[in-house]
Amino acid sequence: MSDHSKIEWTDASWNPVTGCTKVSDGCKHCYAERNWARLAAPRSKPNIYTGRDFTDVRCHPEKLDIPLRWTKPRRIFVNSMSDLFHESVPDSFIDKVFAVMALADHHVFQVLTKRPERMLAWSRREHSRTAPVEAMAELYVDHPEMAERWPFDSERARKLGMNPWPPPNVWLGISCEDQATADERIPLLLQTPAAVHWVSLEPLIGPINLETWLLSSYGMADKANKINWVIAGGESGPRARPSHPVWFRSLRDQCQTAGVPYFFKQWGQWAPHPHPPKPGHYTGAGIFLRIDGKLGEQGDWWGGTAHAMDKVGKKSAGRTLDGRTWDEYPA
């Protein structure tokens, strides 16, 4: 949990849930799992991670009021070390998280999941609109110190019961890594009510075409229901897989055509070789990546069917695409 996140597209992270399990190939080299060993190591003053396995999913009610303590408006990434819609998280706890997000309406909350089927099912419950009010009332019984600091008055009750729901300061997003996971998860995301629908394409391990969901309405016939924000990035860490430059350029161009904000987060561990292909002049120490994601040969690079990628590390690779950064956000 951090009030100053190093994640490029957010300001802070809030982890009322920690721990997770893998669901697809994008989870293979999970950054949260990679950091878990350091966080869970024995120490004189134990924390919420100490002595636990990464697959031990736990809810932390004592962390729920943290966004209410932060008075300065922030973009807050919800559960950077877990997934709010993990099957081990009870509906009743998700209700409380949404209740806090509704009350802390001076912030923007960025909810990201790889389990959109659970998120959609949660939103379609018969009592989904009344559950946050009930959850906050229960929370105040369990934590009277919260009731003293943030009284449950008629104005707060109005915010919790507001229409539309979820509240406009809650952005709902899905993470996917290739076309197959995009095809599976994005339709479920767009059936879930939200002020902003967004996708995080990281780690990008294959090309993705988003045009179906960027340019036209999907699902609900009475309003435009499409992706409102796209984040893309390569994989970091010692075992990171490379991403082809064409994949990022294509996503940028798709977003520009549709008028959708595009955020290029990072190249990751691998960066494109900076020099144009000249037979016999490659001096890098990397690989040759084809557009389909498979490895090629030097001749493929010179022939224009692959790109030379150098393993230089996240910091050296940077986050510029075609000479500039892309840090666009929804209005």
Q: Is 232 helix (H, G, I), strand (E, B) or coil?
A: strand
State pLDDT tens for residues 69-109.
Answer: 999 999 999 999 999 999 999 999 999 999 889 888 899 99
Of the listed ranges 62-76, 156-170, 286-300, the least confidently predicted one is 156-170
Write down the pLDDT at residue 154.
61
Write down the pLDDT at residue 152.
60
Which is nearest to 1 in space by CA: 53, 68, 96, 78? 78
State pLDDT tens for residues 176-196.
Answer: 999 999 999 999 999 999 999
Instruction: Give the whole-angstrom CA distance, residue 186 versus residue 199.
Output: 8
| pLDDT band for position 280 (cuts 50, 70, 90) | low
Instruction: Give the whole-angstrom CA distance, residue 36 versus residue 50.
Output: 9
Residues forming a β-bridge with 288: 308
Which is nearest to 286 in space by CA: 262, 267, 259, 263? 267
The answer on pLDDT for 6 being more than 90 is no
State pLDDT tens for residues 115-142.
Answer: 999 999 999 987 766 777 778 778 777 7
Instruction: Give the whole-angstrom CA distance, residue 165 versus residue 95.
Output: 12
> What is the chain's mean pLDDT, rounded?
89
Write down the pLDDT at residue 25.
96
In this structure, which amino acid lies at residue 130?
T
Write down the pLDDT at residue 220.
43
pTM above 0.95, yes or no: no
Mean pLDDT of 238-254: 97
Write down the pLDDT at residue 161.
60
Instruction: Give the whole-angstrom CA distance, residue 48 versus residue 90.
Output: 19
